Structure 1
Amino acid sequence: MNLTFWAALPQVQKQLQQLQDDLLKTVDLPNQPVHISILKLLQSGGKFLRPGVFYLFSSLGSTPDEARLLAGASAQELLHLAVQCHDQVSDDRLKGPHLGQANRQRNAIYAGDYLLTRYFAELLKTQPSAADLPDDLNAMQRILAGHLTQLQHQFDLTETVPAYFTEINQKTGEAFRFSAEQGAKLAGATPELIDLSAKIGASIGTAYQVHQDIALAFGQPKPLLISLQKGQYPLPLILILKRPAIQQVLKKRQQLTLNDVQLIQRQLDRKAAQSQLNNLTDHINHLLNELPAGTAQNDLRQFIRMLFQA
């Protein structure tokens, strides 16, 4: 975990350190290749954003229980890690993978499946009611649906901005919505605050994905090349996707070069992409104004500043 990111929010930083220590102790498998792949994910330097959001919104509750919140935060991170594992599996565009690659793909599948079972185990520790479980299952299904929608849009030269937002609302937006809602709910927040938390979380997730897309599109060409060779187009590229010259270059698919990427980057409109992000962050700040004044609201504002400066 990247502890430095959370330095300005020491209480959340402390909770996330405890979470990481707990996950490292409880995620244990006899199969060493699968076990090692999970440990690498846990120690990869990620920011633990979803459990961090969970803990931020848990401060809106009136009856926090440390053990219950730890289980809830664990469930959020385990679901995220499971999806990450499955994302590592190469698609069928790779012809004739060698034995080492095939083994890595198999291990990633098993690791992802195992982490999903751990997600449910931690979820049950939060003592959900019979009415809660369908919501928890539906959230997972919507997140997975978002990733499946992303697969459907691979190499899609007809993808539109509305279609893009539908996809990321399902994927990243839903993941953050679920984290925020669960944090508030498990800490005993009022129904009104739980609903507001869900709206804010969804807005944060959508804006974060756009922020990541902008960083990818205008950053170093190598990461963007990898994304384009997989047929994954960030928002700044989708904004100009209808241009014939852009489509002609993208048709090269895996044969794209760094020179091709640099040519594309020179045609991107940073102002238009940033305008999309500004609209989203303005909406987040408007929703934050509806929260009760106090520590929770202040911490969330600080988190938003940190998130979109990173």
Structure 2
Amino acid sequence: MNLSFWAAVPDVQAELKQLQQYLLKTIDLPNQPIHIKILKLLQSGGKFLRPGTFYLFAQLDPHYDSDLLLAGASAQELLHLAVKFHGQVSDDKLKVAHIDHEKPQRNAIYAGDYLLTQYFEEILKTNPSATEFSDHLNAMQRILSGHLSQVQHHFDFTETVSDYFDEANQRTAEAFRFSAQQGAKAAGADANLINLSAELGAAIGMAYQVKQDVELTFNQPKQLLTSLQNGEYPLPVIMALGDSEVQLLLEKRQQVTVNDVKSLQQQLSRKESDNHFIQLKAHVDGLLTGFPTGHASDQLRQFIDQLL
């Protein structure tokens, strides 16, 4: 976990340290190679954004049950890790970084499935009602649907900006939305505040996704090179798919070079992409004003400023 990211929100940072230790003890897979890879992934540079968001919104009420919060936060991270492993199965030619190269597809499926069983085990520790359990299932289905839609658009020159935002809404925005909603519920917030938390979480997730895409596109070319070779087009590239020169470059697929990427970066419009982010960030700021003043909203502001 990247602890430095949460330095500005020390209360959440302390909770996430405890969460990481809890997850490291919880993971117990008989297959040692995969067991070790999962543990390494937990100890990597990830920011724990989903459980961190959960804890942030749980601070709306300081009188919470720490054990129930730990289970709820664990579920958020385990679902994220399960999706991450399953995502490694989407392309037979994809090189897998976190699991053994021998039979990587099968190992990724098993690792993801195992993490999903752990996800449901943590949910059950929160004693959910039938409706609450259904909410977890629906959120998981939406997130997975978003990832499947993204895979369907690999190397797709017909993908539109509207398609992109539909996918991002199901993937990243939904993950943040659900983490925020569940945190507010765990805090015992009223229905209006829970709904506002969910709306703010989704807005944060969408703005974060666009910010990540802009940085991927216009920073170091090697990062964008990997994305293009895998057929995964970030927002600024999607916005230029109607350009015949851009299409000719992308048609090279795995043969795209760093020089090709540098040429592409010069053809793309950063200003137009930044405008999307500016509008999304303004929406986030507007929603935040609806929260009651106090420590929780101050912590949310610190997090948003750090993330976006």
TM category (shorter chain) comes to over 0.9
| Higher mean C-alpha deviation, range 294-303 or range 56-65 | 56-65
1:44 equivalent in alignment to 2:44: yes
Alignment-mate amino acid for residue 56 of structure 1: L
Q: Does 1:267 align with 2:267?
A: yes
Identity %: 63
Q: Any conservation in 1 of the 2:231–2:253 contact (CA below 8 Å)?
A: yes
Deviation at 1:102, TM superposition (A): 4.0
1:194-213 deviations in whole A, cap 9, x for unaligned?
A: 10000000011111111110
Q: Which residue of structure 1 lines up, in the alignment, with residue 78 of structure 2?
A: 78
Question: What corresponds to 2:65 in structure 1?
Answer: 65
Deviation at 1:92, TM superposition (A): 3.3
What secondary structure, in the 3-state scheme, does the structure 1 residue paired with 2:130 have? Answer: coil
Give 1:241 shift.
1.4
Structure 1 residues 11 and 127: alpha-carbon distance in aligned structure 2, compared to 1, 3 A threshold: same
Query: Aligned ranges for residues 101-120 of structure 1 at < 5 Å?
Result: 101-120=101-120
1:17 corresponds to: 17
The reply on whether 1:302 has 2:293 as its aligned counterpart is no
Letter of the 1:222 partner, please give it: K
Query: Which residue is 2:152 aligned to?
Result: 152
Alpha carbons 2:90, 2:151 under 8 Å: kept: no
In 2, are the aligned partners of 1:225 and 1:261 still within 8 Å (CA)?
yes
> Letter of the aligned partner of 1:103 in structure 2?
K
Q: Is the 8 A contact 1:71 1:126 kept in 2?
A: yes
Q: Which has the higher mean CA deviation after the structures are superposed, 71-80 or 255-264?
A: 255-264
Cα separation, 2, equivalents of 1:44 and 1:244: 40
For residues 94 and 298 of structure 1, the distance between their equivalents in structure 2, rounded to whole angstroms, comes to 42
Give the match for residue 53 of structure 1: 53
Are the structure 2 counterparts of residues 38 and 94 from structure 1 closer, same or farther at C-alpha, using a change threshold of 3 Å? closer
Q: Following TM superposition, by how much is the alpha carbon of 1:105 offset from its aligned partner in structure 2, in angstroms?
A: 2.6
> What is the CA-CA distance between 1:133 and the residue it aligns to?
1.1
Q: 1:79 & 1:148 partners in 2: Cα distance?
A: 15
1:222-249 per-residue CA deviation (whole Å, 9 max, x = no partner) reads 1111100111000111111111110111
Q: What is the match of residue 140 of structure 2?
A: 140
Give the corresponding residue for 1:179. 179
- CA distance, structure 1, for counterparts of residue 20 and residue 94 of structure 2: 34
Once the two structures are superposed, residues 240-260 of structure 1 have per-residue CA deviations (whole angstroms, 9 ceiling, x without a partner) of 111111011111111111111
Change (3 A) 1:125 1:228: same
Q: TM-score, normalised by structure 1?
A: 0.95
- For structure 2, list consecutive stretches of 5 or more residues without a partner in the other structure: none
Give the secondary-structure state (helix, strand or coil) at the position aligned to 2:219: coil
SS of alignment partner, residue 103 of structure 2: helix
Letter in 2 for 1:271: K
- Report if aligned partners of 2:94, 2:230 keep a CA contact under 8 Å in 1: no
Distance 2:51 2:146 in 1: 20
Q: Deviations over 1:3-51 (max 9, x none)?
A: 1010111100000000000000111112111101101110111000000
Partner of residue 291, structure 2 = 291
Letter paired with 2:284:
I
C-alpha distance in structure 2 between counterparts of 1:229 and 1:281, whole Å: 30
| Aligned-partner Cα distance in 2 for 1:157–1:40 | 36
Q: CA deviation at 1:61?
A: 3.2
Q: Encode CA deviations 1:134-180: one digit per residue, 9 max, x unaligned.
A: 11100000000000000111111011111100000000000000100
SS in 1 for 2:60: coil
- What secondary structure is seen at the aligned counterpart in 2 of 1:287? helix
Q: CA deviation at 1:93?
A: 4.7
TM-score (ref. length: structure 2): 0.96
Change (3 A) 1:87 1:94: closer
Tell me the matched-pair count: 304
SS of residue in 1 equivalent to 2:128? coil
What is the CA distance between 1:90 and its match in structure 2? 5.4
2:248 aligned with 1:248: yes
Q: Aligned Cα RMSD in Å?
A: 1.4
Tell me if the contact between 1:62 and 1:189 (Cα under 8 Å) persists in the aligned partners.
no
Residue identity matched to 2:101: Q
Post-superposition offset of 1:296? 1.0
| Matched-pair contact (CA < 8 Å) for 2:78–2:116 | yes
**Residue 2 of structure 2 contacts residue 47 of structure 2 at CA under 8 Å; is this kept in 1?**
yes
**What whole-Å deviation, never above 9, does each CA across 1:29-82 have from its counterpart, x for those lacking one?**
121111011011101110000000000000113651100000000000000000
Q: Is 1:232 matched with 2:239?
A: no
Give 1:103 shift. 2.3
State the distance in 2 between where 1:236 and 1:94 align: 23
Q: Which amino acid aligns with 1:303?
A: F
Q: Does 1:203 align with 2:203?
A: yes
Note if contact 1:145-1:170 (Cα within 8 Å) is conserved in structure 2: yes
Q: Which amino acid aligns with 1:138?
A: N
Deviations for 1:108-156, whole angstroms, at most 9, x for unmatched residues?
2111100000000000111111111111100000000000000111111
